[in-house]
Amino acid sequence: MPHKGEMVEGPEAARRFDALVRQVLSVPHEEIVRREAEYKRQSAMNPHRRGPKKKIKPAASARAEAEL
């Protein structure tokens, strides 16, 4: 797959890398955790997603009735 970006080497590449790292690390950890949780909720709602599906636990009242 061809890469559409330009190949940069030398001091310009180091400057760009440093700017990117500073931009990524400026996001607070709580914000990253919040975004990941939101993404997981969205992906869990997709009925066509690949991989193992989450087990759906019945409500506590339904389990109590089933035990009787």
Over the chain (68 residues), what is each successive 10-residue block's mean pLDDT? 72 91 86 93 85 74 62
36 vs 5, 18, 20, 27, CA distance in Å? 28, 24, 20, 13
Whole-angstrom Cα distance, residue 26 to residue 67?
A: 52
Overall pTM surpassing 0.95 (yes/no): no
Q: What is the pLDDT of residue 48?
A: 85
- DSSP-H helix ranges across 2-28: 11-25
37 vs 20, 31, 43, 53, 57, CA distance in Å? 24, 10, 10, 17, 19
